[in-house]
């Protein structure tokens, strides 16, 4: 079983839709969580950190449920430019990042 698991999708949604991605992680001792965005043939870039209390950045909301070891990302009012792969990430010991497989989002006009 992978340490971080995500549904690879693809998720195909119309512009303006709300879409949610989920992931689970296996190490209950994990302390830091992130969502990264990766455009096709580009490097991953930090989208947002995920905090226990939940956090929001514009149209993006991230939630963490430590009891269920579950992380989510909600995107409201999807734009064409949101089309990308979204990577769920847990920080491991020594600071290394442990990535999920990624969920592909395609926003259509």
Least CB distance to another protein at residue 22 (A): 15
Cβ 16 to another protein shortest distance, Å: 28
Residues in contact with another protein by the rule CB under 8 A:
4, 8, 31-32, 42-46, 87, 91-102
SS3 of the chain: helix, strand, coil, percent, to 5 = 5, 55, 40
Measured CA to CA, the distance from residue 27 to residue 57 in angstroms comes to: 26
Rounded-to-integer distance, Cα 74 and Cα 95, Å: 26
Pick the closer one to another protein by CB: 1 or 96.
96
Place of tokens 């395609």: 106
Q: Which is nearer to another protein, 43 or 58 (CB)?
A: 43
Q: Which is nearer to another protein, 17 or 106 (CB)?
A: 106
For 62, the token pair is 């991230």
Nearer to another protein, 14 or 40 (CB): 40
Instruction: Tell me the closest approach of the beta carbon of residue 109 to another protein, in angstroms.
Output: 26
- Least distance (Å) from another protein to the CB of residue 70? 17
């Amino acid at each position: 079983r992978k340490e971080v698991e995500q549904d690879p999708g693809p998720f195909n949604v119309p512009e303006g839709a709300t879409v949610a991605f989920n992931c689970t992680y296996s190490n209950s001792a994990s302390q830091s969580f992130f969502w990264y965005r990766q455009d096709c043939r580009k490097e991953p870039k930090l989208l947002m950190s995920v905090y226990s209390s939940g956090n929001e950045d514009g149209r993006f909301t991230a939630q963490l449920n430590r009891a269920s070891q579950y992380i989510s990302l909600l995107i409201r009012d999807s734009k064409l430019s949101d089309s990308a792969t979204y990577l769920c990430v847990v920080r491991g010991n020594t600071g290394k990042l442990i990535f999920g497989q990624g969920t592909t989002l395609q926003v259509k006009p």
